[in-house]
Amino acid sequence: MKTRIVLASASARRRDLMRQAGFDFRVSPANIDETPQPGETPCDLVLRLALGKARAVAGAVASPVGGDPRVVVVGADTVVVSPDGQVFGKPTGRDDFLSMFRSLAGRRHRVLTGVAVVAGGCCRTTLAEAGVTLRDVPESEMAAYWATGEPRDKAGGYGLQGFGAIFVRAIEGSPSAVIGLPLDELERLLTELGVETWRFRGATRLRRRSAVGS
């Protein structure tokens, strides 16, 4: 039986990135408590949640005798850290979004993404950090952006791959880490666990060609 990759996330952006990287995978969102623990740093938070998501899904698909080495589960979590050190997840509403965006506009902030891969009884984690500088954004643009609906499910209230890209002045580091899944780091973790990633890409390419020719 071939190796199966499972993405433990409901994020459309992470699904798009996995497809962009050529992976054949299925989606099984994790349902875990994402409340930060007392005194937890942003780095520790995203790593803990990424691993928690991956382990939760791995446990659900595991065989009765233990982890199935043919099932590889990928988990990820992203937060935005403001210049003042505030940790932003997804906005809870319009007022929360406006408060977030006011603190980010015209300034440089950090985006942290934790990634975890679980295969059988083994796991690997890594942290990717990027710096993002937004241009000055007037309140009218913030309100118009919120009205599009895009900010509602994004850490920090903006999406690099959508309308939010018009606010971004500079990025330091991996753009895919800002979107929510650093592909270079994911590739490294999968390779460390013995996953032959290029087999997935070859199989995906063949299926696409067959679909076009049918």
Q: Is the pLDDT of residue 211 over 60?
A: no
| 3-class secondary structure, 68 | coil
Which residues form the domain of 97? 4-213
Report the alpha-carbon distance of residue 170 to residue 130 in Å, rounded. 10
Task: State both tokens at 15.
Answer: 């699904």
- Looking at the whole model, is its pTM more than 0.85? yes
pLDDT digits (tens, 9 = 90+) for 129-151: 999 999 999 999 999 999 999 99
pLDDT digits (tens, 9 = 90+) for 9-66: 999 999 999 999 999 899 999 999 999 999 999 999 999 999 999 999 998 876 544 5
Among the options 77, 95, 153, 184, which is catalytic? 77
What's the number of CA atoms in the CB half-sphere (13 Å) around residue 54? 28
CATH number, domain with residue 26: 3.90.950.10
Q: Are 109 and 96 in contact (CB under 8 A)?
A: no
Is 77 a catalytic site residue?
Answer: yes
Q: How many domains does the chain have?
A: 1
Report the alpha-carbon distance of residue 68 to residue 74 in Å, rounded. 14
The residues, ordered by sequence, that sit 6+ positions from 98 with a Cβ below 8 Å of its Cβ are: 139, 142, 143, 146
Q: Is the pLDDT of residue 169 over 50?
A: yes
pLDDT at 46: 97
Report the alpha-carbon distance of residue 74 to residue 58 in Å, rounded. 9
> What is the band of 3 on the pLDDT scale with cuts at 50, 70, 90?
confident
